[in-house]
Amino acid sequence: MKGKRFTYLAFMALIILSGCASQSGWRPTVDPYNDPRAAYINQDLVECEMLAKRVSGYTPEETAKGALVGGAIGAAAGAAIGAATGSPGQGAAIGAAAGGIGGGTYKGLDAEQKYKDAYIRCMRQRGHNVLN
């Protein structure tokens, strides 16, 4: 019962963490001073956002992929460790939960960073002064 409860709690934590690693709401800060293309800032922000999403992969999808891979690796490692202590099932459950959370968080944050880098690079290539 403890293993199931831990797995459930870990799964809920993964869902919460994956919601935190999303691309919604973030935009680079653009300084319009001396920007010869200042009139196009809003249009370029929208276009660069779409391009950045394509470049990085959509974060919730990447988070889910990382959680699946991390969970599988964690389950295998946990089962091996659990077998040594006499409880391979509980070890697999704990390993899957820990691996899923770690893998999901890593992939989500990695995709988020790629998104931000691509967004900033796109705006700069269009001639805007991006501050962050």
10 domain residue, yes or no? yes
36 domain residue, yes or no? no
pTM of the entire structure?
0.58
Mean pLDDT by 10 residues, the chain (132 residues): 52 49 76 96 96 80 63 64 70 67 66 92 97 92
53 domain residue, yes or no? yes
Tell me if residue 47 falls in helix, strand or coil. Answer: helix
Q: What pLDDT score does 86 carry?
A: 72
35 domain residue, yes or no? no
> How many structural domains compose the chain?
1
**55 CB-side CA count, 13 A:** 19
87 domain residue, yes or no? yes
Domain that holds residue 65: 2-22+41-130
Q: What is the chain's mean pLDDT, rounded?
A: 75
**Strands 129-130 and 30-31, how do they pair?**
antiparallel
